[in-house]
Structure 1
C-alpha cells in the first residue's frame, strides 16, 4: 500500500509542504497532528532540531521499507519504470513510452520529486528499480526508448500546435546560427524597417521600458496565422502611434521567411512570440 504523507511547517509568511510517497508506515498514523503543524517563530533552536531529527528518522524508515520492497519485487522478476513529475524534465511521449516498455514486460508507475526532501530519501523504490533496469538492459536502454517514444509522439500528433518551449532549441528566425540569436536579430531587423514618428517622446532614464509584442502561429509549411498584438507605453502620449507600430510589427511578421519549428527533429506547428522594446 502506498501512503502520501504531508508534513506542513507554518511560518508567518509561507507554508512549506513536504509530501513524501512511501510504502505503508504505521508510525505516521501514531503521530499527533501537532507534529505536522508547527510555527517557526514559536520554537526554540532545540525544539527545531528535535523536529527535523524526527522528520529525518521518518524518511529514513520509509526509505528502508521501500528499499526492502523493491528488492523483494526484483527477486520475483518484477520491474517497474517510473515517470517523474515535479521539478524534473518533462516528456511528451509517456503513453508511447509505456507501450515500448510493455514489450519488455516492464510495468509503469509515476512518482513525484520534491526539492524540499533529500533526494537520497525520496522515491527509494523507484530509484532501485531504475538501477535494476539499467543493469539488465544497459545504461542507454531507457534513453533510447525515450528518443523513440518522443519521435513517435510527434508522428502521432501531426496537427498539434506545440508551445514554444516544447520545440527543439533551434532558432526559427532566418539567418540565425544560434537559438539565442533570434532575440537579438529580430529586433535589429524590425528597427531597420521601422522609424520613430517625429513627435514620439522617448523614454527618460528613470522610466520603465515600453514595449510591443505579438503572439502568432507558425505552421510547419511556413504559413503565419492568428497574429495577436499587445502594446504598452509608459508615456501615455505615445498611444497615438499605437496603430502605426502595430501595423509595422504585423507586416514584419508576415514578411519574414520564418523557419518552421522542430520537435525531436521533425517539423511541427508552433506558437511564436516576439517582443520589441521602445527607446
Structure 2
C-alpha cells in the first residue's frame, strides 16, 4: 500500500476516486420522508404519489401535502429573477408573436402554455409561472401586461382585418379596426 502513496499525484487520484465512490453510492439512497403526520393523516410529497393512490378521486380530507415540486420551482424562479431572467407565460393567442416582440424590448422572455384546471390534491403546477408573474407586476406595474395585450390585439386585428377575432362571443374587429 505504501508504494501507491509515494507520489502526490497518485494520492490526489486516490482522493478523487474515494469522493466519486461516495458520491455514486449515495445517489441511489432515497430520503425517507414521514408517511403520516402526528394526527395520523397521510402526507403526499408529489402529484405522482397522490394520483397513484387508487382512491385519490374520493380523498376529501385527512391528508397533508408537501408540494416539493412547487418548492423547487420557486427556488428556480427566484434564481432566474436574481440572474435577470424574466419569463411571461401566456395562452397561445393569434397575436403571440406581437406580444413576444414587445416584451423582448423590456428583456422579458415570452412562452406559450396551456393552462389546466385539474389540480390533484393541493398541488400547484404553476409555481414558477406565478413567481415570474408577480415579479413582472412588481417591476412594471399592474397594467403593464394588460396594456401590452391590448396593443398587440389591436395591432393584430389591424394587420389581419379580414380574419375574425372573437373574444367572449364578440368579434373585436368592430372595436379595433380603423375606419
Shorter-normalised TM range: 0.5 to 0.7
The 5-angstrom pairing of residues 99-178 of structure 1 reads 99-117=101-119, 121-163=124-166, 165-168=169-172
The 5-angstrom pairing of residues 81-96 of structure 1 reads 81-84=88-91, 91-96=93-98
Report the Cα distance in structure 1 between the residues aligned to 2:178 and 2:157, rounded to whole angstroms: 9
Report the Cα distance in structure 2 between the residues aligned to 1:112 and 1:163, rounded to whole angstroms: 19
Aligned residues: 133
Task: State the partner residue of 2:33.
Answer: none
Any idea what the Cα deviations from partners look like across 1:107-130, whole Å, max 9, x if unmatched? 112333333327982311111111
Can you give the 5+ residue segments of structure 2 that lack an aligned partner in the other structure?
1-45
The 5-angstrom pairing of residues 190-229 of structure 1 reads none
The 5-angstrom pairing of residues 1-279 of structure 1 reads 35-36=51-52, 38=54, 48=59, 53=63, 56-57=65-66, 60-84=67-91, 91-117=93-119, 121-163=124-166, 165-168=169-172, 262=174, 264-266=175-177
Retained in 2: the 8 A contact 1:113–1:122?
Answer: no
Retained in 2: the 8 A contact 1:63–1:122?
Answer: yes
Question: What do you get for the CA RMSD once the two structures are aligned?
Answer: 3.5
Once superposed, which parts of structure 1, at least 4 consecutive aligned residues long, lie more than 4 Å away? none
Can you give the 5+ residue segments of structure 1 that lack an aligned partner in the other structure?
1-26, 86-90, 169-260, 269-279
Richer in helix (by share) = 2
Report the Cα distance in structure 2 between the residues aligned to 1:266 and 1:92, rounded to whole angstroms: 16
Shift of the 120–142 alpha-carbon distance from structure 1 to 2, 3 Å rule, reads farther
